[in-house]
Amino acid sequence: MSLQLNQLQSQVTPLTTPSPWALCVAPMIDVTDRYCRYFHRLLAPKARLYTEMITTGALAYGDVERHLRFDVSEHPVALQLGGSEPAALAHSAKLGAEWGYDEINLNCGCPSDRVLQGAFGAILMTQAQRVADCVKAMQDVVSVPVTLKHRLGLDYEYSYEFVKDFVAVQYDVGVRVFIVHARNAVLKGLSPKANREIPPLRYDMAAQLVKDFPEATFVLNGGINTAEDSLTHLQQFNGVMLGRAAWHTPAVLGEIHDRIWPDHLRLTEAEVIERMYGYLEQEIQAGTRPRQITKALLGWAHGKQGARQWRRHLSDPAQMERLDARVLLEAWQLLQQASFQAEQ
């Protein structure tokens, strides 16, 4: 454990009764599929995991099983929906509950080009009553929590009253969990990637929501990359949600988990490899391409001796074409060898 983390722990009050949303992994398109979530669950047994955003159209007209199937070990796991029609969202939410999801989350923060068509995402923040109608329709057909993920504002309007009024309308219909990405969404001129980096973070404004709605649960999202960041924010918020950090440096999930739930033993790295090997073998036999699974593991060795060999082996097209789960054991051996050599 680093000196910096030791110093932080001496300054931060330990969590007494962590919220069920204390540690969350953000919904990320093309990232948090069921394979990635299975891996993240091994690293952080009590974290709350979120699916990629799934649109109501995908569930109305697509392969429902492909979109909603998940491993029982993923609990607690939330289904994030994208849509703006109450009836369609109610239908999708009911499907999610029937498949066993622990939470239904409505996306009111996505800044992609499609939101300008009014289909879903951040543009819904301009339609607070419509969102409330959608929430009510979902609440009427499910017994699990219906939650929201939203931004602080749109484009370059930084008024606190805008987000406060939006939250108030949803609170009035019974929403009690809000995941706040502490940036604006700039819908004209910035790509989704730029929207994760360029609009300034305003943690102070997000913290004001906590004060104004003390009975609600607020999870902070945006710019949280380390255990130190998380522990600091958990002094003000009920939870933290990690996005790209969970993808690029997934080991951080275990570090945060240990601080929030110090008495809950996690798997060792060797045990994680053993579980992932069995899972990979099972999925390959079911027709899954190894790359679909191993891509989630590439960042796990970040900062270690042999990390480059680990990434190279698990992303090598020739290795992936072997359709052999032993590729993971081979990568693990390369990592162990590099660590041993570095110690000599």
pLDDT in tens, 57-92: 999 999 999 999 999 999 999 999 999 999 999 999
Asked if 108 and 201 sit in the same domain, the reply is yes
Residue range(s) defining the domain that contains residue 300: 269-343
Q: Mean pLDDT throughout 193-219?
A: 95
Does residue 108 lie within any of the structural domains?
Answer: yes
Phi-psi domain of 313 (left: phi exceeds 0; alpha: psi -120 through 50; beta: other)? alpha
Asked if 253 and 111 sit in the same domain, the reply is yes
Q: Has residue 10 got a pLDDT over 70?
A: no
Asked if 167 and 240 sit in the same domain, the reply is yes
Asked if 198 and 278 sit in the same domain, the reply is no
pLDDT in tens, 258-293: 999 999 999 999 999 999 999 999 999 999 999 999
Q: Mean pLDDT throughout 336-340?
A: 89
Of 260, 291, 308, the one marking the end of a domain is 260
pTM over 0.75: yes
Of 203, 238, 260, the one marking the end of a domain is 260
pLDDT score of 339? 85
Does residue 229 lie within any of the structural domains?
Answer: yes
- Cβ(321)–Cβ(294) below 8 Å: no
Phi, psi (rounded to 5 degrees) for 153: -175, -175
Does residue 14 lie within any of the structural domains?
Answer: no
Please indicate whether residue 66 or residue 191 has the higher confidence score (pLDDT). Answer: 66
Q: Has residue 2 got a pLDDT over 50?
A: no
pLDDT in tens, 133-180: 999 999 999 999 999 999 999 999 899 999 999 999 999 999 999 999
pLDDT interval class at 11 (50, 70, 90): very low
Does residue 241 lie within any of the structural domains?
Answer: yes
Q: What is the CATH number of the domain that holds 135?
A: 3.20.20.70
Asked if 180 and 306 sit in the same domain, the reply is no
Asked if 253 and 293 sit in the same domain, the reply is no
Q: Which residues are catalytic?
A: 110
| pLDDT averaged over every residue in the chain | 93
Please indicate whether residue 8 or residue 145 has the higher confidence score (pLDDT). Answer: 145
Asked if 203 and 302 sit in the same domain, the reply is no
Asked if 327 and 249 sit in the same domain, the reply is no
Of 231, 260, 289, the one marking the end of a domain is 260
* b/e per residue 65-104 (b: at least 16 CB within 10 A): eebbebeeebebbbbbbbbbbbebbbbbbbbbbeeebbbb
Asked if 173 and 322 sit in the same domain, the reply is no
pLDDT in tens, 289-315: 999 999 999 999 999 999 999 999 999
pLDDT interval class at 21 (50, 70, 90): very high
Q: Mean pLDDT throughout 43-52?
A: 98
Residue showing tokens 């988990």: 257
Question: How many CB atoms are closer than 10 A to CB 286?
Answer: 7
Does residue 102 lie within any of the structural domains?
Answer: yes
pLDDT score of 278? 98
Q: What is the CATH number of the domain that holds 337?
A: 1.20.120
In 127-190, alpha helices (H):
128-139, 160-172
Asked if 116 and 226 sit in the same domain, the reply is yes
Domain tally for the chain?
Answer: 2
pLDDT score of 193? 84
The residues with which 146 forms a beta bridge, in sequence order, are 104
Does residue 291 lie within any of the structural domains?
Answer: yes
Does residue 316 lie within any of the structural domains?
Answer: yes
